[in-house]
């Protein structure tokens, strides 16, 4: 039971219950929809990019608590950062979740590390980041 408690940390619950950027209207310059058939997640990531920097991020869709929280964390942390940082963070998160050193993940995403013992849930945590990277590529 402690693994499940670890998986749904307070920040995951908070971000899934009150997700930042969810169904918020923005003037998106880039967007991409992705899905995870294994879990049923379907998410549309929308980004407003100007002069190589992310100005705003929003998302729509239906997803599990982990995917919603991950998208919320992306919306909360990426505005103001260069687009190249998005892919860097995505790669670091993916490496931290799939066997690399956990300290590779940015500290603001540490709550997502709770999915590491549950390989089938890793895609839930990375889907918003993958969709966002595809949107800007």
Task: Assign 34 to helix, strand or coil.
Answer: strand
Q: Does 87 or 2 have the greater pLDDT score?
A: 87
The CA-based dihedral angle spanning residues 102, 108, 111, 117, taken in that order and rounded to the nearest 10 degrees = -20
Position 8 pLDDT exceeds 80: no
* Apex 70 CA angle, 64 and 59, nearest 5: 80
What structural domains does the chain harbor? Answer: 2-136 (3.90.1010.10)
Query: What is the C-alpha separation between 120 and 43, in angstroms, rounded?
Result: 17
69-121 pLDDT, tens digit per residue, is 999 999 999 999 999 999 999 999 999 999 877 778 888 898 898 898 899 99
In the prediction, which pLDDT does 82 show?
98
36-76 pLDDT, tens digit per residue, is 999 999 999 999 999 999 999 999 999 999 999 999 999 99
In the prediction, which pLDDT does 104 show?
83
DSSP secondary structure code for residue 7 in this structure: H
In the prediction, which pLDDT does 65 show?
93
Task: List phi, psi (to 5°) of 94.
Answer: -60, -45
Q: Does 112 or 10 have the greater pLDDT score?
A: 112
β-pair type (53-62, 41-50): antiparallel
Confidence class for position 2, pLDDT limits 50, 70, 90: low
Q: Provide Rg for the chain, Cα atoms.
A: 14
Task: Assign 15 to helix, strand or coil.
Answer: helix
Position 4 pLDDT exceeds 50: no
Q: If you average pLDDT over residues 8-26, what whole number do you get?
A: 90
What's the whole-model pTM score? Answer: 0.92
In the prediction, which pLDDT does 110 show?
87
Query: What is the C-alpha separation between 113 and 58, in angstroms, rounded?
Result: 22
| Count of residues in the chain | 137
């Amino acid at each position: 039971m402690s693994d499940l408690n670890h998986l749904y940390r307070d920040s995951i619950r908070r971000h899934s219950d009150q997700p930042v950027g969810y169904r918020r209207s923005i003037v998106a310059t880039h967007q991409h929809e992705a899905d995870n058939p294994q879990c049923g997640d379907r998410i549309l990531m929308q980004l407003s990019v100007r002069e190589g920097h992310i100005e705003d991020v929003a998302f729509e869709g239906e997803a599990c608590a982990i995917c919603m929280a991950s998208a919320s964390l992306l919306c909360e942390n990426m505005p103001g950062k260069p687009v190249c940082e998005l892919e860097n963070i995505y790669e670091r998160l993916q490496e931290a979740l799939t066997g690399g050193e956990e300290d590779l993940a940015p500290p603001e995403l540490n709550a997502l590390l709770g999915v590491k013992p549950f390989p089938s849930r890793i895609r839930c945590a990375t889907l918003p980041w993958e969709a966002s990277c595809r949107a800007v590529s």
